[in-house]
Amino acid sequence: MDIRIGQGYDVHRFGPGDHVMLCGVAIPHTRTLQGHSDADVGLHALTDAIYGALAQGDIGRHFPPSDPQWKGAESHIFLRHAVDLAGKHGFKINNMDVTLVCEYPKIGPHADAMIACLSGITGVTADRISVKATTSERLGFTGREEGIAAQAIVSLVAA
Ligand code: MG
């Protein structure tokens, strides 16, 4: 049985704004995340995890930041591309697990909405999707609230 595991990691910095996009959900906040696209760290980490499992590079290879067509892009486009690429290689997503690292906003109240959104984008049932969060005890760049980090792990199995 051919099982693939992939992991992804991403960081985006805070800038002026009134909401953040996390795992496809807009959460009101005192700042926003800055980036070439909508800066959704959760979706970016997850997308890279799938590319990693497929040994197909990273999000920057498939969607170069130098290409103006991806400026302000909604990141579900990237995740959907990775899922479709998995299908082309004969794989489907078995499960996915995302960890968001930040002090604020608090993720818990939004986790179910994020899982529902990820399920909608990927077609994976909600019982195979995990979104969880941790602070970094006020240490480091996430602890100083300079940005948000995300880690993701996925497993793929033959479709
Ligand atoms: Mg990113």
Percent of the chain whose predicted confidence (pLDDT) is above 70: 100
Centre of ligand 1 from the C-alpha of residue 82, in Å: 14
pLDDT of res. 24: 98
Distance, CA of 47 to CA of 79 (rounded, Å): 5
Residues 6 or more apart from 4 whose CB is under 8 A from it?
53, 54, 91, 155, 156, 157
Mean pLDDT of 3-27: 98
Residues with CB under 5 A from ligand 1 (ion): 10, 44
Distance, CA of 2 to CA of 93 (rounded, Å): 12
pLDDT of res. 1: 85
Mean pLDDT of 8-25: 98
pLDDT of res. 40: 98
Centre of ligand 1 from the C-alpha of residue 1, in Å: 32
Centre of ligand 1 from the C-alpha of residue 10, in Å: 5
Average pLDDT, the chain: 97
Centre of ligand 1 from the C-alpha of residue 4, in Å: 23
Chain segment 33-62, per-residue pLDDT in tens: 999 899 999 999 999 999 999 999 999 999
Centre of ligand 1 from the C-alpha of residue 124, in Å: 22
Whole-Å CA distances, 139 to 16, 41, 144: 22, 19, 7
Centre of ligand 1 from the C-alpha of residue 30, in Å: 20
Centre of ligand 1 from the C-alpha of residue 128, in Å: 23
Centre of ligand 1 from the C-alpha of residue 43, in Å: 8
Centre of ligand 1 from the C-alpha of residue 90, in Å: 26
Q: Tokens at residue 129, please? A: 């999707």
Phi-psi region of 106 (alpha: psi -120 to 50; beta: other; left: phi over 0): beta
Q: In which residue are the tokens 């930040």 written?
A: 102
Chain segment 69-101, per-residue pLDDT in tens: 888 899 999 999 999 999 999 999 999 999 999
Centre of ligand 1 from the C-alpha of residue 50, in Å: 14
